[in-house]
Amino acid sequence: MNRPPLILRLDISKKRRRIALWIPLFLIWPIVAAFLIALVPLIVLAVAILWPFGWGKLLLFSGPRIASCLCALHGLEVNIERKDRVMFISFK
């Protein structure tokens, strides 16, 4: 399985100004994991209630799908150029 991105690099350049941010995502992932672990009882209850209506299976398997999408962000680079500004987003 892939790993989620650890650093988000955001670089916005205008004519005279430049903003360069390195956001450490590895500090955010443990907080998100703890929050999701705390929500597990509520998710299990929601799945049990929604299972007869057909929505329980969708809710149960949405977590691994979201995690897979987050892990797929690793290595993504987006570069948008206009005549007056440049925006660069990179997940490492």
- The encoded tokens of residue 17 equal 């100004």
Contact 12, 19 (CB under 8 A): yes
User: Is the dihedral angle over the CA atoms 62, 64, 68, 70 positive or is it negative?
Assistant: positive
d(CA 23, CA 45): 35
Q: Is residue 1 part of a domain?
A: no
Render each residue's pLDDT in the chain as its tens digit; 92 residues: 588 999 999 999 998 899 999 999 999 999 999 999 999 999 999 999 999 999 999 999 999 999 999 999 999 999 999 988 999 999 99
CA distance from start to end of the chain: 16
d(CA 31, CA 46): 23
pTM exceeding 0.85: no
Residues paired with 8 in a beta bridge: 23, 91
Q: Is residue 47 part of a domain?
A: yes
Task: Please state the domain count of the chain.
Answer: 1
The domain containing residue 36 runs over which residues?
A: 7-91
Q: Residue 16: its pLDDT value, please?
A: 85
Q: Is residue 2 part of a domain?
A: no
If 0-12 CB within 10 Å is exposed, 13-18 middle and 19+ buried, where does residue 5 land?
A: buried
> Which amino acid makes up residue 38?
A
Q: Residue 76: its pLDDT value, please?
A: 95
Q: Residue 15: its pLDDT value, please?
A: 82
